[in-house]
């Protein structure tokens, strides 16, 4: 998840605004966005938000956070097409202004003169940004790779990077995702050749899963299917959205319309190929429904094949392996990048990093994207290539000029969970309570007392998820509660807080003794 901010002579420029996923440490959260509080408080100085490419971890949070930032947005044509759909779904299209900058274009904002540079990546039209300021040039690479044959769009514009190198680059803020991988990331063209050979050899229904915005991959799968005499259907909303954005920008033009989901089931098995969302095991995706055999339109089974044309994003392994297992149980043959060459990474391996450093020759290197291990390996490599590396963490303010680069300030950062349209701090009260309930359950008690604090009627205690259906224990807990309240000194019984606390304490203790759990205890007191 990305949200980068550059500051020059008092003005601020934001680059990318993406989402992340909750993952195994945050099972109560599906989607997270950066907490923009620091930036939102200074939005009068924010000259714009630039989006480098259409991946969710770079563009996915715009519709969530724009209402707090309310700044102009600048992006290339494909990002604009994708973003307009997202803002439209959020009802923000009338308010948020997107300026579509032509590829390799240049825009001047107050204190920042921006030049876009085309890079190859696993999405159409990814671009790096050269930020010219009166203090020097900073190259923000975004996600990139070198691919002589990216199939869609042009290869990385090495001449433009070399030109910047000649002009003199102060610092390069660069992708570290594959900084531990020796060699080269490989070419999209090689994946197309392999998919074509594999799909030609298959019988039965074939489903291929990949990232929706990897338009080159979608095109490769489609062409491989057509070469094998198969018709192609897209399964999943994000694939259809990406297809629409791609066609709008002049891609996939000679691909015939895809078969609608509700017609795919009528095509003979050997003549059908599905492209599905769900390569990361996302629970509501088309492939997850097919794996669970709950998809309303299509089923896969014995003799069919599912190809995962993607990598596992760290944190998603478990969900993906479970899905692959489910598909195998149904009788499907499952092929992945581990056993077949059906995927290449969109990020630079070490040879590609070397090449870019040789072209750009930055004075300073700021590795970003990846865990600390990736950043530090990238830093070591940059040093070998004559750049001075500077490592930063989330919230660090790195002063690049004037003087020697140094972290001069820390600003508050954090993450917000997207919870059905609300944004909640992930360490805040609501989600902390939910997480506690998830692991320890919740106990709810209601009781009535008269003015003197004597219990009236019978207290009710329930504990869904802890004591389901066990009325006997519920009644015992209610009796424990009534006794504890009855034992309070007269004076305290007139105070609501004291009554509630006494009830809470006795329930906590009783549940702890019986179940060895520390649940959330909610007490409702009624004075009658
Ligand atoms: Zn990306």
CA of 137 to the centre of ligand 1 (A): 23
Q: Decide if pLDDT at 71 tops 80.
A: yes
Q: Supply the pTM of this predicted model.
A: 0.84
Number of helices followed by number of strands (H, E) in the chain: 16, 26
> Per the structure block, which two tokens stand in for 444?
């709810």
- Ligand 1 mean position to 442 CA, how many Å? 41
pLDDT-derived band of residue 516, with 50, 70 and 90 as boundaries?
A: confident
Distance from the alpha carbon of residue 291 to the mean position of ligand 1, in angstroms: 27
Annotate 174-202 with three-state secondary structure.
Answer: EECCCCCCCCCCCCHHHHHHHHHHHHHCC
C-alpha 143 – ligand 1 centre gap (Å): 5
CA of 91 to the centre of ligand 1 (A): 26
CA of 358 to the centre of ligand 1 (A): 23
Calculate how far, in angstroms, residue 346's C-alpha sits from the geometric centre of ligand 1.
7
Q: How far is the CA of 150 from the centre of ligand 1 (A)?
A: 14
How confident is the prediction for the chain on average, in pLDDT? 93
Q: Is the pLDDT of residue 467 over 80?
A: no
Distances (CA, A) of 250 to 253, 293, 353: 6, 36, 31
Residues 477-503 pLDDT 10s: 899 999 998 899 988 888 999 999 999
Q: Do the bridges between strand 136-140 and strand 171-175 make them parallel or antiparallel, or are there none, so unpaired?
A: parallel
Residue 3 has pLDDT above 80, yes or no: yes
Give residue-wise pLDDT tens across range 392-410: 999 999 999 999 999 999 9
Q: Please, which residues have CB less than 5 A from ligand 1, an ion?
A: 55, 143
Q: How far is the CA of 522 from the centre of ligand 1 (A)?
A: 44
Q: How far is the CA of 126 from the centre of ligand 1 (A)?
A: 8
Question: Phi/psi zone of residue 229: left (φ > 0), alpha (ψ -120 to 50 degrees), beta?
Answer: left
> From the CA of 322, how far away is ligand 1's center (Å)?
25
CA 123–ligand 1 middle distance (angstroms): 7
d(CA 509, ligand 1 centre) in Å: 51
Q: Distance, CA 58 to ligand 1 centroid (Å)?
A: 7
- Distance, in Å, from the CA atom of 20 to the CA atom of 5, rounded to the nearest integer, reads 18
288 C-alpha to ligand 1 centroid (Å):
23
CA of 18 to the centre of ligand 1 (A): 10
Nearest Cα to Cα of residue 151 among 91, 214, 87: 214
Q: What is the mean pLDDT of residues 154-169?
A: 97
Ligand 1 centre to CA of 59 (Å) is 10
Q: What's the distance, CA 265 to chain centroid?
A: 32
pLDDT of residue 473: 83
User: Using an 8 Å Cβ cutoff, are 478 and 460 in contact?
Assistant: yes
If you measure from the C-alpha of residue 26 to the centroid of ligand 1, how many angstroms do you get, rounded to a whole number?
23
Question: Is residue 469 pLDDT above 70, yes or no?
Answer: no
Q: Are strands 442-449 and 455-462 parallel, antiparallel or unpaired?
A: antiparallel
pLDDT in tens, 218-257: 999 999 999 999 999 999 999 999 999 999 999 999 999 9
CB 128 within 8 A of CB 139: yes
Ligand 1 centroid to residue 339 C-alpha, Å? 24
H or E stretch including 426?
Answer: none
CA of 76 to the centre of ligand 1 (A): 14
Residue 517 CA to ligand 1 centre (angstroms)? 43
Position 462 pLDDT exceeds 90: no
* Distance between Cα 54 and ligand 1 center (Å): 7
For residue 120, report the distance from its CA to the centre of ligand 1, in Å.
Answer: 10
Cβ atoms within 10 A of the Cβ of 334, count?
15
Residue 415 has pLDDT above 70, yes or no: yes
Burial of 126 (0-12, 13-18, 19+ CB in 10 A): buried
For 304-360, how does the pLDDT look when each residue is reduced to its tens digit (9 = 90+)? 999 999 999 877 898 999 999 999 999 999 999 999 999 999 999 999 999 999 999
Residue with tokens 């140094």: 406
The span from the CA of 334 to the CA of 202, in Å, is 12
CA distances for 61 relative to 82, 83, 121, 399, 426, angstroms: 13, 10, 20, 26, 15
Average pLDDT for 52-66: 96
Distance in Å, CA 154 to ligand 1 centroid: 16
**Could you give the CA distance from residue 163 to residue 83 in angstroms, rounded to a whole number?**
31
> For 465, how many CA atoms within 13 A lie in the half-sphere containing its CB?
15
In which residue are the tokens 């700044």 written? 71
Tell me how far the alpha carbon of residue 175 lies from the centroid of ligand 1, in angstroms: 10
Mean pLDDT of the 52-59 span: 96
Percentage of the chain surpassing pLDDT 70? 99
**Confidence at 24, pLDDT banded by 50, 70, 90:** low
Tell me the CA distances in angstroms from 500 to 154, 470, 488, one per residue in order.
68, 24, 11
Residue 61 near residue 34 (C-beta atoms within 8 A): yes
Q: What is d(CA 270, CA 249) in angstroms, rounded to the nearest whole number?
A: 32
Grade residue 283 by pLDDT with cuts at 50, 70 and 90: confident
Distance 253 CA to ligand 1 centre (A): 24
What is the per-residue pLDDT across 430-461, written as a single tens digit (0 to 9) for each? 777 777 777 788 889 999 999 888 999 999 99
Q: Ligand 1 centre from 109 Cα, in Å?
A: 25
Collect all residues with Cβ–Cβ distance below 8 Å to 496 and sequence separation of at least 6: 525, 527
Cis previous bond, 402, omega within 30: yes
Residue 447 has what pLDDT? Answer: 93
Count how many Cα atoms sit within 13 Å of the Cα of residue 209 in the half-sphere of its side chain: 29
């Amino acid at each position: 998840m990305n949200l980068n901010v550059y500051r020059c002579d008092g003005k601020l420029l934001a680059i990318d605004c993406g989402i992340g996923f909750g993952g195994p440490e945050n099972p109560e959260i599906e989607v997270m966005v950066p907490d923009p509080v620091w930036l939102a408080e200074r939005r009068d100085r924010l000259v714009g938000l630039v989006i480098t490419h259409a991946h969710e971890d770079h563009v996915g949070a715009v519709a969530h956070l724009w209402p707090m930032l309310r700044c102009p947005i600048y992006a290339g044509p494909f990002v604009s097409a994708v973003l307009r759909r997202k803002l439209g779904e959020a009802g923000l299209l009338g308010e948020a202004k997107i300026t579509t900058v032509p590829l390799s274009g240049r825009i001047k904002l107050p204190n920042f003169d921006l030049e876009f540079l085309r890079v190859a990546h696993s999405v159409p039209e990814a671009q790096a940004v050269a930020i010219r300021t009166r203090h020097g040039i900073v190259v923000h690479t975004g996600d990139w790779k070198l691919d002589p044959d990216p199939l869609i769009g042009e290869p990385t514009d090495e001449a433009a990077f070399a030109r910047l190198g000649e002009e003199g680059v102060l610092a390069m803020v660069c992708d570290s995702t594959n900084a531990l991988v020796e060699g080269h990331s490989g070419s999209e063209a090689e994946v197309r050749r392999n998919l074509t050979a594999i799909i030609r050899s298959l019988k039965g229904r074939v489903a291929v899963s990949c990232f929706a915005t990897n338009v080159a991959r979608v095109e490769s799968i489609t062409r491989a299917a057509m070469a094998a005499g198969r018709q192609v259907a897209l399964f999943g909303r994000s694939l259809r959205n990406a297809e629409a954005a791609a066609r709008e920008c002049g891609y996939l033009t000679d691909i015939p319309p895809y078969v609608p989901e509700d017609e795919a089931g009528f095509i003979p098995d050997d003549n059908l190929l599905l492209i599905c969302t769900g390569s990361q095991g996302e629970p509501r995706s088309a492939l997850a429904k097919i794996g669970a055999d709950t998809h309303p339109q299509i089923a896969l089974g014995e003799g069919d094949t599912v190809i995962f044309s993607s990598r596992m994003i760290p944190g998603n392994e478990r969900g993906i392996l479970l899905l692959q297992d489910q598909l195998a149980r149904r009788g499907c043959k499952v092929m992945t990048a581990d056993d077949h060459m059906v995927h290449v990474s969109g990020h630079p391996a070490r040879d590609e990093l070397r090449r870019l450093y040789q072209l750009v020759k930055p004075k300073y290197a700021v590795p970003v994207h990846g865990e600390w291990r990736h950043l530090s390996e990238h830093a070591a490599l940059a040093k070998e290539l004559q750049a001075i590396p500077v490592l930063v963490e989330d919230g660090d303010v790195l002063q690049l000029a004037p003087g020697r680069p140094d972290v001069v300030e820390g600003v508050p950062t954090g993450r917000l969970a997207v919870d059905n349209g609300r944004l909640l701090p992930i360490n805040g009260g609501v989600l902390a309570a939910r997480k506690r309930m998830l692991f320890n359950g919740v106990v709810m008690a209601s009781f009535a007392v008269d003015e003197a604090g004597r219990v009236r009627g019978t207290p009710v205690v329930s504990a869904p998820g802890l004591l389901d259906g066990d009325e006997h224990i519920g009644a015992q807990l209610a009796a424990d509660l009534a006794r504890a309240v009855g034992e309070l000194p007269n004076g305290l019984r007139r105070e609501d807080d004291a009554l509630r606390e006494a009830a809470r304490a006795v329930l906590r203790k009783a549940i702890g003794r019986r179940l060895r759990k520390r649940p959330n205890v909610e007490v409702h007191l009624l004075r009658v």
